[in-house]
Amino acid sequence: MGALFFHIYNQNIMANIPIWPGSSSFHPGDTPFGFYDYDSDFQKDADKVANFCALRLGYPIENVELQDINFYAAFEEAVTVYANELFAYKQREEFLTLEGTPYSYENTNVDLQNAIITPNLQRIVDLSEQYGTWAGVGGNVDWYSGSVVLTSSIQDYDLDAWATSQGLTGSDVEIMRIFYQGPPAIDEMYTPYAAGFGFDGDAAAFAFMGGGYGFGDNFLMMPLSYDMQTIQAIEMSNDVRLSNYTFQLINNKLRIFPVPGRDDDGCNLWFEYMLKSDEACASVDVDPNAISNISQVPFRNMDYNGINSVGRAWIFEYTLALVKEILGYVRGKYTQVPIPGAEITLNQADLLSSAEADKNKLIDRLREYFESTSRQSLLERRQAESVARNSELGEVPMTIFIG
Amino acid sequence: MALYGEARDISLFRTINRELMGNIISQECIYYKYRLAETKVNMYGEAADGRYFFDPVILNCLIERQDQEYPESDLGVDFQWGITFKFLRDDLLGKNPCIDNQPDNVYGANLVPEVGDVIMYQNGYYEVDNTNANQFFVGKNPDYPFLDDEGNNPLETDLANFGSSISIICQTHYVPGDRYNIQRQRL
């Protein structure tokens, strides 16, 4: 019937795209990225996974309109998703320890995949520096000293003007401490002039002058709490009855109380300050060789050979979900597929919804599994086990030993 | 430039159609192509010496049967049964060395349905009354890329790669087999 060719039909354009034939043979380079192409176990599993997915999708009862490279791509993606979830979990778990550590060592990039990471407190200490800075008990910002000269009867002093005179910018100066206070109360404790409130000064403490405790080397050892109460009494007296030393600092305008007298004229009033610019600089540590964000944590591509059976089972299931999705897109590019004299609708919607549900379920399951093996969860479980064990042991009758 | 209905998509449709028609629905018929050159006609244009056909070809198709009718006339009771046979057009093409060279390939019938051909279905013979090739995917038939004498189309450079003529539908009526000298030899 050679003469009956469709002579006007250009058969060269009649492309025929092969679909899954029932078997495959993986070769390196068959995956889009080639992350795991040379892992021997990946090479073995690739064809098995392809066959598994095809069978789960109905082959050989039904055609599966995919090729082996589609299966391989899904397989590679599943491994990558697994590794991504695992490493993301590890990063969350360890980032407080990893932040700031170098990600290369002797010009070789570090790979943390097989590293056992022991937590340390360094970043906690670093995080606490800010509090130390403001509390004046450490920190990572220098404090400087400055002083203004007091003038009798002048109560207000502009520290911005002082900063300008020192070559600083007033807005850059943060006053941290002002040394403007009276003499310590203990100075008054042993002076007889401090008896304005009925206190007998040092006579009472040491029984001098026949203060009721006898002569000579007799003295009464008073408890330390007595001294403390006395000092507090002196301080309260000064606060209430006298013009005590204090100050007010608003917008770098210093107002001191009491108003300086003639004796104060020419004296220095000292204070301590830090520079906001110093604080800002101390907050930023630029180190191009250190891990400064999540993306720099040196987790490379996962070694597929090292994934155990639990992980691989998850990967196989996720591959199937991805393959469903690909097949759904293939079958759903056109809502209606023409057949002679009619049109049909394929199962794209079912495939896509099933794939979406499967993927979400698998991701949730994996994350839950990782979370259940976090350091916190393991310690909590161990604690619960300990409590349960003790409780159980407590049920054992305690015998009385009679020797 | 056309975007949808490229040859790759048509390949998918062909695969799905062949699975549907061959493996799922699996309706078949035997096609007898009329051998026009060897059929002698008399001065009235009648094939008085009989009609000749090529060897039969078995094909997958979709079959739409009408009800049998038994009209009465002066000559007695007659029998009528109209059937519509729907073929995937790609099944009727000749073997394409690019795509049909697999050893187990059963496609490539290489025939053009025409009026006068005969189709055998369930031991009955049905003569083709008319053929209809009017189902174009995305409205385009790649057989007609509208090329000028120099092979160019100023609007579309690769129209021959898009669209597809999906089917050929044959409407038939029942004929007694002895009228065409077709004898059942196999099946």
If DSSP codes are grouped into helix, strand and coil, which group holds residue B125? strand
Contact of B167 with chain A, judged by CB distance below 8 Å, is answered with: yes
C-beta of residue B60 within 8 angstroms of C-beta of residue B91? yes
CA distance A37 to A30: 8
Contact of A5 with chain B, judged by CB distance below 8 Å, is answered with: yes
B residues 113-132 lying closer than 8 A (beta carbon) to A: none
Report the candidate in B2, B69, B62, B72 with the shortest Cα–Cα distance to residue B29. Answer: B62
If DSSP codes are grouped into helix, strand and coil, which group holds residue A107? coil
Contact of B15 with chain A, judged by CB distance below 8 Å, is answered with: yes
Beta carbons within 10 angstroms of residue B125's beta carbon: 21
Inter-chain touch B10–A15, beta carbons under 8 Å:
yes
Contact of B111 with chain A, judged by CB distance below 8 Å, is answered with: yes
Q: What is the model's pLDDT at position A60?
A: 93
Percent helix / strand / coil, chain A, rounded to 5 = 50, 10, 40
Contact of B94 with chain A, judged by CB distance below 8 Å, is answered with: yes
Give me the residue label for tokens 């007898």: B32
Residue in B7, B54, B137 nearest the CB of A13: B7
Q: What is the model's pLDDT at position B173?
A: 96
Q: What percent of chain B has pLDDT over 70?
A: 91
Contact of B63 with chain A, judged by CB distance below 8 Å, is answered with: no
pLDDT tens profile B50-96: 788 898 999 999 999 999 999 998 989 999 999 999 999 999 988 77
pLDDT tens profile A56-99: 999 999 999 999 999 999 999 999 999 999 999 999 999 999 88
Contact of A9 with chain B, judged by CB distance below 8 Å, is answered with: yes
For residue A281, report the phi and psi dihedrals to the nearest 5 degrees: -65, -35
Q: What is the ipTM of this complex?
A: 0.85
Residue A60 preceded by cis peptide, ω within 30: yes
C-beta of residue A174 within 8 angstroms of C-beta of residue A280? no
CA distance A122 to A97: 8
User: Which residues of chain A are under the pLDDT cut of 50?
Assistant: 1-13, 195-199, 201-214
User: Which residues from A are below 8 Å from B15, CB to CB?
Assistant: 17, 19, 63, 65
Report how far apart, in Å, the C-alpha atoms of A297 and of each of A44, A83, A107 are. 30, 14, 16
CA distance B162 to A386: 72
Q: What is the model's pLDDT at position A213?
A: 47
Percent helix / strand / coil, chain B, rounded to 5 = 20, 30, 50
CA distance A162 to A148: 7
Q: What is the model's pLDDT at position A5?
A: 37
pLDDT tens profile B136-157: 999 999 988 888 888 888 888 8
Report the candidate in A328, A313, A335, A327 with the shortest Cα–Cα distance to residue A67. Answer: A327
Report the candidate in B110, B108, B124, B105 with the shortest Cα–Cα distance to residue B30. Answer: B124
Amino acid occupying residue B143: D
Give me the residue label for tokens 């350091």: A375
Residue in A6, A17, A333 nearest the CB of B93: A6
Contact of A127 with chain B, judged by CB distance below 8 Å, is answered with: no
Residue in A5, A6, A17 nearest the CB of B8: A17
Inter-chain touch B86–A340, beta carbons under 8 Å:
yes
pLDDT exceeds cutoff 70 at B6: yes
Report how far apart, in Å, the C-alpha atoms of A303 and of each of A112, A298, A307, B109, B181 are. 12, 14, 7, 52, 73
pLDDT exceeds cutoff 60 at B183: yes
Q: What is the model's pLDDT at position A163?
A: 94
Inter-chain touch A63–B98, beta carbons under 8 Å:
no
A residues 216-255 lying closer than 8 A (beta carbon) to B: none
Q: What is the model's pLDDT at position B184?
A: 61
Report how far apart, in Å, the C-alpha atoms of A301 and of each of A29, A114, B43 are. 16, 12, 85
What kind and span of H or E run contains A339? Answer: strand A337-339
Output B40 or A369, whichever has higher pLDDT. Answer: A369
CA distance A198 to A193: 11
Contacts (Cβ under 8 Å, ≥6 apart) of A98: A91, A112, A117, A291, A297
Q: Which 8-state DSSP code applies to residue B34?
A: B
Q: What is the model's pLDDT at position A27?
A: 96
Contact of A7 with chain B, judged by CB distance below 8 Å, is answered with: no
Q: How does the average pLDDT of chain B come out, rounded? A: 88
Residues in chain B: 187
Beta carbons within 10 angstroms of residue A294's beta carbon: 13
Contacts (Cβ under 8 Å, ≥6 apart) of A178: A247, A249, A254, A269, A270, A271, A272
Q: What is the model's pLDDT at position A246?
A: 86
Give the distance from residue A67's alpha carbon to the nearest chain B alpha carbon, in angstroms: 12
Q: What does the block give as tokens for A63?
A: 């055609």
User: Which residues from B are below 8 Å from A2, CB to CB?
Assistant: 94, 110
C-beta of residue A165 within 8 angstroms of C-beta of residue A154? no
C-beta of residue A157 within 8 angstroms of C-beta of residue A267? no
